[in-house]
Amino acid sequence: MISMNPTAFSIFGIDIRWYGIIISIGVITALALAYFNSKRKGVDFDHIVNTFLVAFPIAVIGARLYYVAFEFESYRGDLLSIFNIRQGGLAIHGGVIFGVAAALIYSRVKHIDFLGMIDIAAPSLILAQGIGRWGNFFNSEAHGGEVSYEFISRFPQFIQKGMYINGAYYHPTFLYESLWDAAVCIVLLIILKKRKEDEKGLIISLYLILYSLGRFYIEGLRTDSLLIGNFRIAQIMSLAGIVIGIAAIILIKIVKRKKYI
């Protein structure tokens, strides 16, 4: 028996699920943080909002398509269920890829400084991810393998309750990633404050590296990973994120050095 109730309340017979509420809280909190950072760094917040309004729905579609592409056998018999995201089934890597691509295209069309804007958005993105993981908690998904009561007893009672699924306790990997994301957000905020104008792209590059490091380890604990053969797709994407992030930082440093030669 699943102990957590994924439904928060009902309106006119329609269930409002915790998953959607928490995603909404994550979005609002992320925008509030972006507003603060844009004022501090002299970036037009209206550009960020307009880009978000374009990129966010595309990111959600991308996150769903990415997930369904690797789990298509589960949807083959009921294609309409592909459109039902209320019970989860959004892959963050797909969301980031589609969302960033949409933001890049929009910024080019509108002649917006993409790197300056995405550096402002990076701490907000990782914060939203950290908050969003609590939606997985209420859906009793994205958890790790079985653990003993002795292990789970180290966590607060409500975590113990949520991780008691079908008669067994499980690793609260959603919590590990949420805490890691919060720590990364703090690091990015500190570095963003010190970032020079000729280092644009540094924050999003650090986001790629730091998030990917944590995700690579945590993914190894999970039981619901998307797979290609015997390989966990999220770990492959994490390795790619680390390599791309490091390469981007090296490029930023080379370009910066050339300016002063």
pLDDT confidence tier of residue 84, bands split at 50, 70 and 90: confident
Q: What is the pLDDT of residues 104-136, one digit of tens each?
A: 999 999 999 999 999 999 999 999 999 999 999
Q: What is the mean pLDDT of residues 82-106?
A: 88
What's residue 79's pLDDT?
79
Q: What is the mean pLDDT of residues 92-109?
A: 95
The owner of tokens 């309004």 is 53
Q: Which two tokens stand for residue 43?
A: 């970036």
Whether the pLDDT of residue 80 is over 70: the answer is yes
Strand partners, 9: 16
What does the domain layout of the chain look like in residue ranges?
A: 7-259
Please give the share of the chain, as a percent, with pLDDT higher than 70.
97
Please give the share of the chain, as a percent, with pLDDT higher than 90.
73
What's residue 12's pLDDT?
85
Q: What is the pLDDT of residues 170-197, one digit of tens each?
A: 999 999 999 999 999 999 999 999 998 8
Q: What is the pLDDT of residues 40-57, one digit of tens each?
A: 998 999 999 999 999 999
What's residue 260's pLDDT?
62
What's residue 2's pLDDT?
46
